[in-house]
Amino acid sequence: MTQREDLIQYLLRLGDSALIQGQRLCEWCGRAPALEEELALMNVGLDLVGQARNWLDYAAELLEDGRDADHLAFRRDERAYRNLLLVEQPNGDYAVTITKQFFYDAWHFQVLHGLSQSSDERVAGIAAKALKEVTYHLRRSGEWVERLGDGTEESHQRMLAAIRDIWRFTVELVNGDDLEQRLFEAGIAPNPAEIAAAWKSKVADIFASATLPMPEPASYFYLNGRKGLHTEHLGLLLAEMQFLQRAHPDASW
C-alpha cells in the first residue's frame, strides 16, 4: 500500500470505531437505569458521532471517488467497515456497557494523545479536539468501573461477568499491525507498542481500585475488524442504522 492508502484505511478505523460505539450508546435512549445516566450516555455517543464525521470527512477527501462522510457511514456493507470488534458487541447489562466503554476509552485516549502530535496537520487537529472530549469519557467510565467493581456484591459479580464476556475483544487494542507500524514510522500515527503498554497500565490501575482481577492478555482471535472480518452483531446493527439511507438514497429533507 502507498502511504495515502494506509492513511485512508487508518482514518476509516478511527471513524468507524467511533461511529459504531456512538450508535451502541444511543441504543440506551429511553432504557438507561437513570435519567442522568441516559443524558450522559447520549452526550458521549454524540461526541463520538461528531468525531466519526471528522475522520470520515478526511477519508472521503483522500478517496476522491465522489463519496462523502454520510455515504461512508450509511452506504457501505459490513465487510467494508474497519471498526474494532469490541465496539460492535451488544450493550448487555449496564456492567457490560461500562466495561466496553472503559476499555475503548482507555485505548482511545492514548491513540488521540499520540495523534495530536502527528506530522499530518489535519490528523493532529482532529485528534486534539477529540482528546478534550475523550478525556472526560475516560474519567467517567473509569469512575463507573470503580463504583461497580468495589460496590455491592451483585455489582462486583456483574463486572466480573462483563469482563469475562468482553475481554477477548481487547486483543485488537494491544496488538498493532503492519499498517499502524508504517504510519508510526512515517510520523503520522503513534507507536502501537506504546499504546498497548499505556492501555494495559491504565486498565490495571483502575481494576486495582475497583478490586477487580486483571486477566491474562487476550490472545489470538480468529476475526479481525480492521480487515473487515466482524462478528454477527455488526450486520444487525448496520441494518438498523442504515435502513433509512438505503431505503431512500440521496433523499433531502
Range of the domain at 24: 3-247
Give per-residue pLDDT as tens, 166-187. Answer: 999 999 999 999 999 999 999 9
Enter the pTM of the model: 0.96
Residue 47 lies inside a defined structural domain of this protein: yes
Residue 38 makes CB contacts below 8 A (sequence gap 6+) with 28, 29, 30, 31, 32
241 contacts 74 by C-beta, under 8 angstroms: yes
Residue 82 lies inside a defined structural domain of this protein: yes
In this prediction, residues 28-48 reach a mean pLDDT of 88
What's the distance, CA 97 to chain centroid?
12
End-to-end CA distance of the chain: 39
Residue 253 lies inside a defined structural domain of this protein: no
Residue 12 lies inside a defined structural domain of this protein: yes
Residue 228 lies inside a defined structural domain of this protein: yes
Give per-residue pLDDT as tens, 96-145. Answer: 999 999 999 999 999 999 999 999 999 999 999 999 999 999 999 999 99
231 contacts 89 by C-beta, under 8 angstroms: yes
Residue 239 lies inside a defined structural domain of this protein: yes
116 contacts 126 by C-beta, under 8 angstroms: no
Question: pLDDT band at residue 253, thresholds of 50, 70 and 90?
Answer: low
Residue 252 lies inside a defined structural domain of this protein: no
Give residue 137's pLDDT. 98
Overall number of domains in the chain: 1
Give residue 29's pLDDT. 86
Q: What CATH number has the domain bearing residue 190?
A: 1.20.1260.10
Residue 216 lies inside a defined structural domain of this protein: yes
Q: How many CA atoms lie within 13 A of 41 on its CB side?
A: 24
